Each structure stands twice: as structure tokens, then as C-alpha cells.
Amino acid sequence: MKTKITELFDIEHPVIQGGMHYVGFAELAAAVSKAGGLGIITGLTQGTPEKLANEIAKCKDMTDKPFGVNLTFLPSLTPPDYPGLIKVIIEGGVKIVETAGRSPAEYMPALKDAGIKVIHKCTSVRHSLKAQSVGCDAISVDGFECGGHPGEDDIPNFILLPRAADELEIPFVASGGMADARSLVAAMALGAEGMNMGTRFIATEEAPVHENVKKAIVNASELDTRLIMRSLTNTERVLANPAVDRLMEKEKALGDKLTFSDIVDEVAGVYPTIMMDGDMDAGAWSCGMVAGLVYDIPSVKELIDRIVNEAEEIIQSKLKQAV
Ligand SMILES: Cc1cc2nc3c(=O)[nH]c(=O)nc-3n(C[C@H](O)[C@H](O)[C@H](O)COP(=O)(O)O)c2cc1C
């Protein structure tokens, strides 16, 4: 398939794997890029510029196709070394960066001077317009359905995507709730130039996470996610489990008095234990409603080929016959 996004990033299929903490390692990013999509390494999981440089080098050994690095800008008392991370991205020859969390304005000159294309992921039309105005090349429009941080507006993709199409001049992909060929065709009908998937890519053979994580996604239904940390204006969509139940009990009891320190046991530093050790109840971990549409654990290539082939089939037969 050819869209503005495949042309912008020089990829074969308009399918992107969004950055994911403790999931977006070189193994997954390379598998997605090799299969013709755009794989993305998660910068902050590496933590230091040295470790990110090694992960970029590892990914380059695994594929000669384009891949990107995600930089998530989080509110933090001790912020990560973003200039250092950007330096190794540039030195490593990476040509695509996915930004998220807040506006990348501060880092745009460095990224643009190095010829890097920036796709900013955000959850509203106003943030998309801001990203466009600071020089981003594309947007990943992340609807309310998404795993991770859906923002505070709660606008699902059936509204958000056509609203983005009505306002934006730069191309965008649909993110949140995307799982299969139907998602891709629908996203394109709503104005997107492709799609970004998180949760669906975790349940693949190459995702370097414990089997329990993949099985938890396959076993979950669309009813099994919860929104946490709303009162901290840091809403996150996670898979329900006993730790999330505990956290939500505290939210109910403390209301607006809840502080981060009240829930630190359920959210801080839990990703390695969950993703690497497969201790699924160790804390809250991001997961999209789309888990209800994930029925298997294919290879990344099988998944992407299936999406693209079935999308072409839907467009050529079903949609053509309707007119
Ligand atoms: C386990 C997990 C971890 C994630 N970590 C990050 C992250 O570190 N930075 C980021 O920008 N997005 C992160 N995301 C969001 C994804 O990149 C993507 O936008 C989202 O999963 C799309 O929604 P979907 O899960 O319905 O496909 C994460 C998502 C999941 C499921």
C-alpha cells in the first residue's frame, strides 16, 4: 500500500509499532521494520545515552530497513538526559523519532538540523495542531481507546480522526484500538494515512516479553481495561488485575487527596517484573481495549502480511461492490 506515511518514512506498509516501555526493544522494532512496517525502539526504557546507542546498533545489525526511536517527555523531578539521548539517535543514523508526552518544541531544532523526521503522538486536535506548528512531519492521533495514556479529553477515534483530518495539513496515522485489516481500512476512511499499534504488537512471537504477558492480552476482553490516575491528571489505561483493584480502592477512598506516593507500590518500577519475569499482578501495566480483538500470537511478519492482504481484499471487493 502507498500512502503519504509510507512515502514520508520510506516504508512498504502504513503500519507503525508505537514506542512501548520494556517492550520496544531492538528485537521487536527490527521485526516490524523487516516486515515492511516502521518499528520503534523505546528510548526511555534504555535510560542512558550509552545503552540507547547500543540498542540502536543492535537494531541496525538486525535490519537495514528504517526504524525509529520513541522519546517520551514525562514530568519528572530528575528528568532523563534528553539532549544525550538525542545525540546518540543522531550519531546512530536514526532518521525517525516518535515523540510523546508533551510538545517536542524544545528539541525540534536539534532533530530537524540532523534531518530527522518527527512523528508526534498526542490525544487531541489542539495538541496535533501545536505539533504541526512547531515543525513535526506527522502525527500519531491516539484515541481514547488506546493503551497507555489517553489524555483527559476522552474522545474516541470515530470522532477524533475525522476531526484531525478536518484540521491538520500534515499526514497522520490512527493510534489506539487498531488491531487488524478492518482497523486500517476504517482509519484510512476516516482520513488517516496508516495506523499505529501498541497492544496488538505485544502479542507477537518476536515481542521480547514473557509469554504470560502475551497470554494475558489474548485472554483479555474489551471489558478488561481500567482507567487509573485520573485524579492526578495522568490517566492511564491498564489491564485489570489485583494490583489495579488495590490502586482503585485507594483512589476511591482518597478522592482528590490522592498523591503519587499513595500508589507508588502499584505503579513505580513495576515494568521489568511484569514484562521480563511475567509476574502479571506485580502492578499496573498499559493495555488497550483492543485486547478484545487479539486472538493469537503470530509472527510480526504474519500479522503485517495478514493486515495488508485483508485490507486490500476489503477495499477491492467489499467496498467496491457497495458502490
Ligand atoms: C505496555 C505499553 C507500554 C507503552 N509505553 C509507551 C511509552 O513508553 N511511550 C509512549 O509514547 N507510548 C507508550 N505506549 C503507547 C503505545 O505506543 C501506543 O500509542 C498505544 O498502545 C496505542 O494503543 P493500542 O494499545 O490500542 O494499540 C505504551 C503502550 C503499551 C500497551
Per-residue pLDDT of the chain (323 residues; tens, 9 = 90+): 999 999 999 999 999 999 999 999 999 999 999 999 999 999 999 999 999 999 999 999 999 999 999 999 987 778 899 999 999 999 999 999 999 999 999 999 999 999 999 999 999 999 999 999 999 999 999 999 999 999 999 999 999 999 999 999 999 999 999 999 999 999 999 999 999 999 999 999 999 999 999 999 999 999 999 999 999 999 999 999 999 999 999 999 999 999 999 999 999 999 999 999 999 999 999 999 999 999 999 999 999 999 999 999 999 999 999 99
Q: Side by side, which strands form the sheet with 195-197? A: 15-17, 195-197, 172-175, 138-142, 117-122, 96-100, 67-72, 39-42
Q: Is 18 in the pocket of ligand 1 (CB under 6 A)?
A: yes
Q: Is 226 in the pocket of ligand 1 (CB under 6 A)?
A: no
Q: Is 286 in the pocket of ligand 1 (CB under 6 A)?
A: yes
Number of neighbouring beta carbons within 10 Å of residue 182: 14
pLDDT at 304: 98
117 to 72, 182, 217: CA distances (angstroms)? 16, 28, 32
pLDDT at 31: 99
pLDDT at 77: 74
Residue 54 CA to ligand 1 centre (angstroms) = 22
**Cell digits for 186?**
476504517
pLDDT at 75: 74
pLDDT at 76: 77
Ligand 1, atom 11: closest residue by C-alpha: 100
End-to-end distance of the chain based on CA atoms, in angstroms?
21
pLDDT at 87: 98
Helix ranges (DSSP H) in the chain: 4-9, 26-34, 43-46, 49-62, 82-91, 108-113, 125-133, 157-167, 181-189, 199-202, 211-219, 242-254, 264-267, 271, 300-313, 320-321
Which residues 6+ apart lie within 8 Å of 285 measured at CB? 213, 238, 239, 270, 271, 274, 275
Q: Is 214 in the pocket of ligand 1 (CB under 6 A)?
A: no
**Residue 196 is inside which H or E element, if any?**
strand 195-197
pLDDT at 16: 99
Ligand 1 atom nearest 201 alpha carbon? 27
**Residue 72 is inside which H or E element, if any?**
strand 67-72
Report yes or no on whether pTM surpasses 0.85. Answer: yes
Ligand 1, atom 18: closest residue by C-alpha: 198
Q: Is 36 in the pocket of ligand 1 (CB under 6 A)?
A: no
Q: By CB neighbour count within 10 A (0-12 exposed, 13-18 middle, 19+ buried), where does 253 fall?
A: exposed
Q: Is 148 in the pocket of ligand 1 (CB under 6 A)?
A: yes
Ligand 1, atom 19: closest residue by C-alpha: 18
Q: Kindly report, residue by residue over 53-107, the tens digit of the pLDDT.
A: 999 999 999 999 999 999 999 877 788 999 999 999 999 999 999 999 999 999 9
Mutation pick for ligand 1 pocket among 17, 173, 178, 286 (CB with most ligand atoms within 8 Å): 286
Mutation pick for ligand 1 pocket among 21, 32, 45 (CB with most ligand atoms within 8 Å): 21
User: Distance between CA 152 and CA 124 in Å, rounded?
Assistant: 9
pLDDT at 265: 97
User: Distance between CA 25 and CA 40 in Å, rounded?
Assistant: 8
Residue 20 CA to ligand 1 centre (angstroms) = 5
Ligand 1 atom nearest 177 alpha carbon? 26
Q: Is 274 in the pocket of ligand 1 (CB under 6 A)?
A: no
- For residue 110, how far is the Cα from the chain centroid? 23
Q: Is 175 in the pocket of ligand 1 (CB under 6 A)?
A: yes
